[in-house]
Structure 1
Amino acid sequence: MSAPQVSRETLRGVLFGRYGMKRQRRVGWRLALLLSSLMLFLAIWSVVVSLGDYPPFILPSPAAVAERLGQVITDASLWSHTAVTLIEVLAGLGLGALFATLLGYALAHSRVAEQILAPYIVASQSMPTVAIAPLLVIWFGTGLLSKVVVCALIVFFPILINTVTGVRSVDRGLQDLMSTLEASRWQTIWLLEVPAALPVLISGFKVGATLSVIGAVVGEFVASTSGLGYLLKQGQQLYDTPLIFVALATLVLLAQMLYGSVALAEQVLLRGRRQSVSGGNS
């Protein structure tokens, strides 16, 4: 008597169900470890402040920082400054990613263009952004545009390099196959090059997402009347160290949220790509 046949859908459901349970347990352990490490850090911080008897303008206690956090949340100043920085970050990241992706694709397909432009691109990255930020403020003013340009310049290079690397990593045999099938340039881009280079491209976006926050703060440090960088500068001038800690913690949280958003998009896009590949093979 033959054994009952198990359908592919049933087997896939069982496997993915077990994988989902393991993944949930893994996420739970990571969350517990994160919370435990955070509590330990706050405890050590409190002990150091208590034993050293530091004044608040040198090293505030976690309680003092929490109190200052409550004040800036109550008067809504933290939300307004965070919104300004977030707009600058998103606009700069989008602008820098757009130009970096377009130029990176062109350089990946043209060795001549790479040889001509590479020295200038490398030279632009050798100049510290902090040094040229005042010049950008003179050119573009003290408003939103100068901060967006600073963000774009910071995120430009890592996304550019990953774009060139990702596009050049596409299998040559698949490119020849697309040519044999007489696929158009747009079909080759969307059906072959983008899916194949996607993991490398997203890695560049992860780096750019975190660097864009630094770019916004650098621009706000030079000239601004709002934003988290302005809040940091205000805390420095007034010796309001708890406010500096609040602004720094908000910047870290903002960078984590941006990185997590890109990582989530990576999971969704790569899962869709794997499903399309498995569907084509079935």
Structure 2
Amino acid sequence: MRYAILGTGLIGTSIGLALRQRLPKATVVGYDRVAAHARLALRRKALTSVASSMENTVADAQVTVIAVPRRQVVPLLARVLRAAPVGALVLDVAGLKSAIVAAGHRGQRTTRTAVFVGGHPMAGTERSGPGFARGDLFVGRTFALCVPIQSRRSAAARHAEVFVRMLGALPVQLSARDHDRVVAATSALPQVVASAVAAAVVDLAGKHTMLAGPGLDGVIRLAASPPALWAEDLIANKRNVLRALGVLQRTLHGFRQAIAAGERMRLHRLLRAGASAQRRLSRRRQVFVSRTE
């Protein structure tokens, strides 16, 4: 079995490591415009070889993973679909899906060879690059697969699910539109909050920031994420992100009003609501994992 990985950053290299750990005899060919990234992925044994071009990487690959930065995916897709063998699976891993999935479907209608599925692993770290890649990065994590409702029982959807499970991840099928709406809450909102809280604490605590405990570390960890990447994604998904921020602002306003007025019971209700929501989120994930494994 031959796999192709276009882009050997954190996600692409982690996919290569996962494949080689689970399928030691598989051929995993990589390509990256940043040659140093591809060489590091090869040294880390995420790849069996590095190709000289995108076309050479994709040729004869039964599965091609496009793991380049989001803005590069659409321009690359048509070329990949033309170069990939008939019946091959082409999967991207970008964090927003609507524009990419639409481009993929247009490309499929033109080439009628490979099949495209938009993907997004809900895994990662605040670090980037092949040096931070891990073969277990996807284990137990959900992996969105954006497949039209009428195609969710198709061979392409089944092929994508098998591949995702091979990485140790848990596939979730949904539309590209629903994906972008949900990740505004589950990914973008935590990122904005982490960045805002980190900046506020530095401003307010001054030279006494050493009084921060592990709770603060947990809240602000995401603030170390690459700013350029997040600035692009927040603007690209701005309608959904602004809606999510509006919901958060209403909740924060409730806290502010209750504190200003000294309304203990209202504060209790707000805090209990947060605790209850945290339990529901945890329970829903546990139920999903138990049903999916």
Q: If the length of structure 2 is used for normalisation, what is the TM-score?
A: 0.22
Which structure is higher in helix share? 1
Larger Rg: 1
Which structure is higher in strand share? 2
